[in-house]
Amino acid sequence: MVVSLQHRVYGDPLKLVEEIVSEIDVKLEKDLEEVEKNVRQLVNDAINRKANELRAKIDDAIKRYRSAIESSRSKIEVDLRKIAERRKEEWIDKVIEDLKGRFVKGFVSDKSLYKEFLEKSLEWVLSVESKINIETDRNTAGIIEEIVNELKVSDRVNIISRDLRISGGFIAISSDKAVRYNYSLEHVIESNMYELKVRVAKILFG
């Protein structure tokens, strides 16, 4: 009777253990599912966080790269413009040097035109100076002597040098040596160089 009563109160010990183990298994399974869920969430969060960090780093690197490219491109464009301008200047200077040589050669060889230039230049200097000394090249000296004789101003003009290294024209010096009047052909061309460069540049490059 006692055993039967105990069995009724406590049940079969083996079944009791099985029920307890089953309950524990169920609880453990739920706990494991929760843990797995939490772990999965933590892993996903960690992956997303790392992905965002990596994406931010990549974006920052791309921005820096683009900035470096833009800076390099701007520098290259500036350098190319400078090179182009230098090349243009070199071509303009080359053309002008050629023009100067042709102009001087053609101008001096046209004795009538050259003599007219020398005469008018000489007359202008004599309009502001009572006496002058002349420095010129050997070829021009002979023409100036002709002009001086024709104008009858030999008492006011004295050729002191016939070996000046110029392509044509002359340099006049006041009697007190205070003022120099440069009528060399090189100086005449240089005085009009800016306008000449503008015209040459327009012809060459539009």
pLDDT in tens, 72-99: 777 787 777 888 788 877 887 788 788 7
pLDDT digits (tens, 9 = 90+) for 37-48: 776 776 677 677
Least trusted range by pLDDT, from 25-39, 48-62, 175-189:
25-39
Residue the block writes with tokens 């089953």? 22
**Domain 110-205 CATH class label:** alpha beta
* Average pLDDT for 59-76: 76
What's the predicted TM-score (pTM) here? 0.55
- From the CB of residue 114, how many other CB atoms can be counted at a distance below 10 Å? 20
Would you mind telling me the total number of residues written for the chain in this entry? 206
Tell me the C-alpha distance between 204 and 206, whole Å.
6
pLDDT band at 7 (very low <50, low <70, confident <90, very high): very low
Q: What does the pLDDT read at residue 4?
A: 46
